[in-house]
Amino acid sequence: MKITILHGQKHHGSTWNTTLLLLDHLISADDECNEFFVNDIPNCIGCFTCILEDEEKCPHRSLTKPIIQAIEQSDILIVATPNYCMGMTGQLKTFFDHMAYRWMSHRPLGEMRSKLAIAVSTTAGVGAGVATKQIAKQLFWWGIPKVYRLNSAVAASKWDDVKPKIKLSIEQKAMKIAKKVKKNRRKAGRGLYQKFIFKMMGIIQKKGLGTPKDASYWKEQGWI
């Protein structure tokens, strides 16, 4: 099993430690794991090059390509972010901005429909659920059919200050999600809503309402 972990911040706090708890129950010695931090990726400049021309011409492609390739080759994707102001970190959103061309409305990767993902976030107070929901929305539009959400309020600013009872609760949640992922990773498939969206995007491409680059891609895939 190939796993890619995407961290929305280099800070080794509660979210990072929660991710480690998840990995303890998810990864075996036979699994291949790639880990990335998105902090050094510059902001998307909105040049539309990836959508209108070619993603390889993105001015930041040298930084994003290794991450994107690892994601596309993985069975499981873990996206972890601390809660910053009721949402994911700006650094993580910047990476997602660079993935616009992989949305179902443009050039989705067909293999995404067989992947599973886990969104991880913690917060001292509230907002972790909002962060994982934001991640799940992004991954839905990539075409990933199932995104599990591991979010927790830890009532502390440092992992060392988190009460043992809360840490135990987080580990129990992580264990349950890990079991579900192992059980369902070869059974992933799009739900009705995602199938409907994909079909609507196909109609748009067939009618020529998208970009020529996107329409050509859909034809190459045999989807229209």
Residue spans per domain, the chain: 2-190, 192-224
Mean pLDDT for the chain overall: 96
Cα(110)–Cα(170) distance, rounded to whole angstroms?
33
Grade residue 189 by pLDDT with cuts at 50, 70 and 90: confident
Whole-model pTM? 0.95
Q: What is the pLDDT of residues 4-58, one digit of tens each?
A: 999 999 999 999 999 999 999 999 888 899 999 999 999 999 999 999 999 999 9
CATH of 2-190, one of 3.90.79.10, 3.30.460.10, 3.40.190.290, 3.40.50.360: 3.40.50.360
Cα(119)–Cα(136) distance, rounded to whole angstroms?
7
Q: Which residues contact 118 (CB under 8 A, 6 or more apart)?
A: 22, 76, 77, 78, 79, 147, 148, 149, 150, 177, 181
Q: What is the pLDDT of residues 112-124, one digit of tens each?
A: 999 999 999 999 9
